[in-house]
Amino acid sequence: MVITGTIFFLFGIVLGSFLNVCIARIPEGLSIVSPGSRCPQCRQPIKGYDNVPLLSWVLLGGKCRNCKTPISIQYPLVELLTGVLFVACYLNFGLSPETFKWLSFTCLIIVLTITDLLVRLLPDAVNFFGAGLGLAFAVRVAPRDEFVSDLIWRFTSLSPASPVSGVLNALAGALFGSFLLWGAATLYRLVRKREGMGMGDVKMMAMVGTFLGVRGAFFTILIGSLLGSLLGLAIVLTMFFAGWKRAVAVRASRRGVGTETELRWAMASAYQLPLGTFLGIAALLYVHFDPWISGLISMTLH
């Protein structure tokens, strides 16, 4: 187990290096294949011995060998996170087709969550590719939630073949997740008279739904929204009490725009966290803790 876990970790940090490329290039519409990795400042290609996951960043002191420009700590952190999550997949699911499904899902979620956190964007290229991949996996490894299969059995006493059942449950998860989030966004816009989230979040939930099914999509939206709301409120309160934008508020107050307190609160409360990041965290929580969550819910209901 230790040897296999180590292999998963090493494979994860190597793939994490590639995910960093995806995070940097996909939002810009650039190829993730060519050109090879290079310093964004001096444009010099990065040699193979300077591109070893985790190790190279440490040995180089977090700087480019040529121009000494600092290299973001994002790169080793993404590599480490990918390695740890790959080991978690192995420990939870062993060596099975399901493991490779969740490894693929993990890579998609890492790219989306980090990209949304950095540039407030959930690329269609990742969402659409992920949705297709989720449907393909559903043929062999169906979502754990058999919502559609249960409905068909209840009303027709028929049991669809496994590949058909898997795809139907994946499609149901995609439709449920995307329409639920779209409905919430529409309601928010009607009530608050402003956009609360982008369509990228809706497309992301369609992708997540193909992997997780209806129950997983619902859990992702519920927990992701809760995490985002709690952290968002904490950040807004911190910004307000720390005096964020106080000078701007004072100048505006002198011009009769409003009181300083009102203006500071308005500016702090306008801050928005990327919902996609929290949806991604919630989706991974569901993947790894669903059996425990389901057991807890079952014990509560009984």
**Angle at which helices 124-140 and 97-119 cross, to 10°:** 170
Task: Tell me the DSSP string of 267-292.
Answer: HHHT----HHHHHHHHHHHHHHHHHH
- Asked if residue 23 and residue 134 are part of one domain, the reply reads no
- Asked if residue 66 and residue 147 are part of one domain, the reply reads no
> Does the residue 71 lie in any domain?
yes
Identify the domain containing residue 33 by its residue range: 1-95
Q: What pLDDT is stored for residue 92 in this prediction? A: 92
Query: Between these two residues, 166 and 131, which has the higher pLDDT value?
Result: 131
User: How crowded is residue 257: how many other Cβ atoms within 10 Å of its Cβ?
Assistant: 13
Counting the structural domains of the chain, the total is 2
Q: What pLDDT is stored for residue 294 in this prediction? A: 64
> Does the residue 297 lie in any domain?
yes
- Asked if residue 160 and residue 67 are part of one domain, the reply reads no
Section 130-159 average pLDDT:
82
Amino acid, res. 254: R
> Does the residue 177 lie in any domain?
yes
Length of the chain: 302
Write the pLDDT tens digit of every residue in 3-26.
Answer: 999 999 999 999 999 999 999 999
- Asked if residue 191 and residue 145 are part of one domain, the reply reads yes
* Residue that finishes a domain, picked among 95, 113, 135: 95
- Helix intervals (H) in 242-259: 246-254
Query: Which residues, in sequence order, are CB contacts of 63 under 8 Å at separation 6+?
Result: 69, 70, 71
pLDDT at 102 over 90: yes
Distances (CA, A) of 224 to 51, 145, 188: 34, 19, 16
pLDDT at 40 over 80: no
pLDDT at 100 over 60: yes
Map residue 45 onto helix, strand or coil: strand
> Does the residue 103 lie in any domain?
no
Amino acid, res. 43: R
The position carrying tokens 């187990």 is 1
- Asked if residue 185 and residue 76 are part of one domain, the reply reads no
- Asked if residue 230 and residue 81 are part of one domain, the reply reads no
Structure tokens that stand for 92 in this block: 């939870």
pLDDT at 273 over 80: no
pLDDT at 297 over 60: no
Q: What is the mean pLDDT of the chain?
A: 86
> Does the residue 193 lie in any domain?
yes
* Residue that finishes a domain, picked among 51, 80, 95: 95
- Asked if residue 29 and residue 175 are part of one domain, the reply reads no
pLDDT at 278 over 80: yes
Q: What pLDDT is stored for residue 150 in this prediction? A: 74
> Does the residue 252 lie in any domain?
yes
Q: What pLDDT is stored for residue 298 in this prediction? A: 55
pLDDT at 300 over 60: no
Structure tokens that stand for 51 in this block: 């591109």
pLDDT at 301 over 60: no
Percent of the chain with pLDDT over 90: 47
Q: What is the pTM of this model?
A: 0.86
CB of 82 closer than 8 Å to CB of 54: no
Q: What pLDDT is stored for residue 113 in this prediction? A: 96
Q: How many CA atoms lie within 13 A of 171 on its CB side?
A: 9
Write the pLDDT tens digit of every residue in 54-85.
Answer: 998 888 888 888 888 888 899 999 999 999 99
Structure tokens that stand for 232 in this block: 């968002």
Structure tokens that stand for 178 in this block: 């995307």
> Does the residue 118 lie in any domain?
no
- Asked if residue 185 and residue 63 are part of one domain, the reply reads no
Q: What pLDDT is stored for residue 107 in this prediction? A: 97
The position carrying tokens 């193909």 is 210
Q: What pLDDT is stored for residue 196 in this prediction? A: 63
Q: Please report which confidence band the pLDDT of residue 266 belongs to, taking 50, 70 and 90 as the band edges.
A: confident
The position carrying tokens 């980090």 is 114
Chain Cα centroid distance, residue 77 = 15
- Asked if residue 42 and residue 145 are part of one domain, the reply reads no
Q: What pLDDT is stored for residue 155 in this prediction? A: 67
Angle at 207 between CA 163 and CA 149, to 5 degrees: 35
Q: What's the rounded Cα separation, in Å, for the pair 282 and 266?
A: 29
Q: What pLDDT is stored for residue 143 in this prediction? A: 87
- Asked if residue 136 and residue 88 are part of one domain, the reply reads no
- Asked if residue 134 and residue 43 are part of one domain, the reply reads no
Section 90-112 average pLDDT:
95
pLDDT at 254 over 90: no
Section 254-279 average pLDDT:
80
- Asked if residue 134 and residue 90 are part of one domain, the reply reads no
Write the pLDDT tens digit of every residue in 178-236.
Answer: 999 998 888 877 776 666 677 899 999 999 999 999 999 999 999 998 998 888 888 87
* Residue that finishes a domain, picked among 95, 115, 150: 95
